[in-house]
Structure 1
């Protein structure tokens, strides 16, 4: 059950990050076309900032799992957050 809970938490963390990224694109983007906003973010170098803002939703998921005493799922969200951090740093320093 432990590995299953960690995988569920990881999935929740990745999904929360994707939703957060969509919200950030919707709020900070100039266009309703998400593809255009993402493309512009890549070319102008602020995609990593949008990804970081998107990862803020993981904070809520993490504390919800802690409050429900589901520590392994919270651990999975933490692992997902660290994964997003590594991907963000790779994108930032590879360009």
Structure 2
């Protein structure tokens, strides 16, 4: 595997982890219910896409950290993870 492909995959994985962490942190700080209850309520009320979008805010921080360190391929992977999150939000809104 080429080195830049490996860096993009690493950035993509970090972007997904940052998105999950952002979603968890949002639920932890701003929800009165447990994680499981909040996710069930969000799914029932068509708000899951909003939770995913709010979790993607951490990707912005990770993206700029990678740019600051001149790790451009990893930054591309984070952008790819953000696009995946946007597609997930789009699917959750229209289906």
TM bracket (short chain): over 0.9
- Shifted more, 39-48 versus 14-23: the winner is 39-48
Which residue of the partner structure matches residue 21 of structure 1? 23
Which residue of the partner structure matches residue 53 of structure 1? 54
RMSD value over aligned CA atoms?
Answer: 0.8
TM-score by length of 2: 0.94
Gaps of 5+ in 1: none
Q: Which structure 1 residue ranges, 4+ long, deviate > 4 Å from structure 2? A: none
How far apart are the structure 1 equivalents of 2:65 and 2:29? 25
How far apart are the structure 1 equivalents of 2:38 and 2:55? 15
Do the aligned residues in 1 keep the contact of 2:12 with 2:80 (CA within 8 Å)? yes
Give the total of aligned pairs: 93
